[in-house]
Amino acid sequence: MSDADITDAGDAAELRTPIVAVLGHVDHGKTSLLDRIRGSAVTAGEAGAITQHIGATAVPLETVSEIAGRLVDPDDFDLPGLLFIDTPGHHSFSTLRSRGGALADIAILVVDVNDGFQPQTHEALDILRRTQTPFVVAANKIDTVAGWNPNPETPVQATLEQQSDRAEARLNEKLYELIGQLSAEEFSADMYWRVQDFQANVGVVPVSAETGEGVPDLLAVLMGLSQRYLKAEMAVDVEGPGVGTVLEVKEERGFGTTIDIVLYDGTIRADDTIVVGGTSDPIVTDVRALLQPRPLAEIRTEKEFQQVGEVRAAAGVKIAAPDLDEAMAGAPVRVVRDRPLEEVLDEVRAELAELEVTTADEGVVVKADTLGSLEAVASTLAEAEVPIVRAEVGDVAPRDVAIASTADESRHRAILGFNVDVLEDARREAEQDEVTLFVDDVIYQLVEEYTEHVAAIERAQQEQVLDKISRPCRFRILEDHVFRQSNPAVVGVEVLAGTLKRNSRVVKWNGEPVRVGELKSLQDAGEDVDEVRAGEQVAASIDGPTVGRQVDEGDELWTELPEKHAKILEQELADDVPADELEALRMYLEKQRGRDPFWAK
């Protein structure tokens, strides 16, 4: 792929850094790939090569060019580089919101070439599709292909030339399997160097986070796509009031409750007034300090910060300010500066309103760790046609149990928590109030667990109904098997279709159903049984008839079906009874409707 294929240099403007998110299934190498890019950046440009932000790592264009070599000529680009979100995964991706969708401008979907698509891969694709975020696929772990000859830090086509025909063939087989899986998800894809139109096709970049092979290509594709397709969106008013999204709310020693944000427009200064989305109302507060990690510190273990006077988009920063206890991850942050406060409040309220989950009068309670993930869970539940009565950010608390316990239907007496904790008193109350808790950190698994729970409830309810209603059965009295003629008649019977249950009323058809008695007991090899199925022969005790008068050997008899029971069986439980029982029901209905066309309708 030449730079001209996917670059389009235009008039210079104040352009911010594109924000890159990394998604993929657990253990497919998301963090390793980020670490490899960071490590390569440090090696390429020494100490100043990368800038550590809160929640993000900035890699400037010059350093990208150093890593990518001839694949990236800095003269072809206006964009300042790439900003990688440090916390990989679709959880952080859905947390990072901006006006109108995902905050990330572009995404890397990491897939292990050996494992192919896994559950979280599908879930990541669903989120990318829903947010319409452009992405490339990093086909990771190419170095694990049998017979692979590693060439550290080398562009992928150059390293392919150093492989045996057999190793290259093995890799190609895995890559085309992956392209086929993308096609099954309705994404047209190919090796990135064969893609002509990156808006219509997904580029697949073979890489190794372990050796660095293919990483130059990945950075080149990300820069090229951003330059050609995202340049207009990167134009921002750098000096204007800052706009961002809360990534995380956490306690910081010496500062109290702080918020980690990703700033995607404008500037935030140490003396600004800001408006932050809160659990009830927007929070208006004044910045006390803007904090960044000390140079080259690893953000996930960093404890030492330095204060800065201002931060420009795009960047991550920790904000220390009063009254942030009710701030929400995924909520908007806006700097007020010289604008009317009410105008900014209205903007924040409007953004929060876009994220509100539609609720019903009856449904389940949903809790999630961020607004973005709450929206993603609600969307998945809507697809599964599961109504929601309450949806909030935060851990599962006793008040959630109180709401769930008032549900009229047992299937709605449930709380679904995504990536949250259950407070101990809430767990106790849920057990007392018979509220079922479902907690998971994978959305599809959470919804799957709940739908399986509902299916089990419905099966139990149907079994209960089946137990209480009469069942259709056609049976006959066996010849030479009359053990007693009357009071009660004891005869051998064979079940022809359906289920024969004791205490059933017995009828004989003679143009119309004539009740002949009640089946009191069933015995199989001397043992009492409650019911017998088609094909079985047992001894039946029938109170009422006398053999030779009301019934005879060889007679075909039926269990009597009340009209209401027949209607329930035909209209509601047809999927839950055996085929032979349905056949008995059909024959019974035919006989009844021959007399009355509207019987049991």
* Domain containing residue 298: CATH number: 2.40.30.10
Residue 16 included in any domain: yes
Q: Are residues 75 and 183 in the same domain?
A: yes
Domain termination residue (choose one: 322, 353, 384): 353
- Is residue 601 in a domain? no
Residues 189 and 54 in one domain: yes
Least reliable range by pLDDT among 102-106, 226-230, 341-345: 102-106
| pLDDT at residue number 301 | 45
Ranked by mean pLDDT, which of 127-131, 170-174, 470-474 comes out on top?
170-174
Does residue 206 surpass a pLDDT of 90? Answer: yes
Q: Are 157 and 194 in contact (CB under 8 A)?
A: no
Mean pLDDT of 498-522: 93
pLDDT confidence of residue 38:
81
* 84 in a structural domain: yes
**Same-domain check for residues 140 and 46:** yes
- Decide if 466 is inside a domain: no
d(CA 75, CA 186): 36
Q: Are 325 and 340 in contact, with CB atoms under 8 Å apart?
A: no
Mean pLDDT of 282-295: 89
Facing residues of 21 across strands? 107
Give yes or no: residues 11 and 79 share one domain: yes
Please tell me the predicted confidence (pLDDT) of residue 41.
Answer: 61
- Which own/partner pairs from 385-388 qualify as long-range (CB within 8 Å, at least 24 positions apart)? 386/447, 386/450, 386/451, 386/454, 387/359, 387/360, 387/362, 387/363, 387/412, 388/357, 388/358, 388/359, 388/360, 388/363, 388/364
Whether residues 258 and 399 share a domain: the answer is: no
The answer as to whether 334 is a domain residue is: yes
Question: 37 lies in which domain range?
Answer: 3-234
- Looking at the fold, whether 319 and 431 belong to one and the same domain comes out as no
Burial label, 567 (beta-carbon count in 10 A; 0-12, 13-18, 19+) = middle
Local confidence band at 486 (pLDDT 50, 70, 90 cut-offs)? very high
- pLDDT tens-place string over residues 78-136: 999 999 987 766 656 666 665 545 778 999 999 999 999 988 888 889 888 888 899 99
Together in a domain, 81 and 176: yes
Q: Of 214, 234, 254, which marks where a domain is finished?
A: 234
Q: Could you give the 3-state DSSP secondary structure of residue 85? A: strand
Q: Which two tokens stand for residue 554?
A: 């060889």
Compute the C-alpha angle 239/94/116, nearest 5°: 125
368 shares a domain with 338: no
Distances (CA, A) of 399 to 276, 367, 377, 390: 25, 12, 20, 11
The CATH number that applies at residue 65 is 3.40.50.300
Residue 467 forms part of a structural domain: no
69 and 130, same domain (yes or no): yes
pLDDT of residue 572: 83
Does a structural domain hold residue 108? yes
**201/153 same-domain check:** yes
* The pLDDT of residue 446 is above 70: yes
What residues are paired with 550 via a beta bridge?
A: none
The residue behind tokens 């769930």 is 404
Q: Is residue 202 scored above 60 in pLDDT?
A: yes
* DSSP three-state, residue 162: coil
Report CA 265 to chain centroid distance, whole Å: 30
* Of 327, 353, 379, the domain-final residue: 353
Average pLDDT, the chain: 88
Greater pLDDT, 104 or 477: 477
Question: Percent of the chain scored above 70 by pLDDT?
Answer: 91
| Per-residue pLDDT reduced to its tens digit, 572-595 | 888 878 899 999 999 999 999 998
User: Within this chain, do residues 9 and 149 fall inside the same structural domain, yes or no?
Assistant: yes
- Model confidence pLDDT, tens digit, residues 386-445: 999 999 988 999 999 999 999 999 999 999 999 899 999 999 999 999 999 999 988 888
Cβ atoms of 105 and 226 closer than 8 Å:
yes
This prediction's pTM: 0.69
Q: How many domains does the chain have?
A: 4
**pLDDT per residue over 557-574, tens digit each?**
999 999 999 998 898 888
The CATH number assigned to the domain holding 398 equals 3.40.50.10050
Interatomic CA distance for residues 172 and 190, integer angstroms: 11
Read off φ and ψ for residue 284, nearest 5 degrees: -105, 125
Highest mean pLDDT among 23-27, 301-305, 500-504: 500-504
Q: What is the pLDDT of residue 575?
A: 82
Write the secondary structure of 8-45 as one string of H (helix), E (strand) and C (coil).
CCCCCCCECCCEEEEEECCCCCHHHHHHHHHHHHHHHH
- Pair (69, 195) in one structural domain: yes
User: Of the ranges 87-91, 177-181, 520-524, which one carries the lowest mean pLDDT score?
Assistant: 87-91
Residue 441 domain-assigned?
yes
pLDDT band at 209 (very low <50, low <70, confident <90, very high): very high
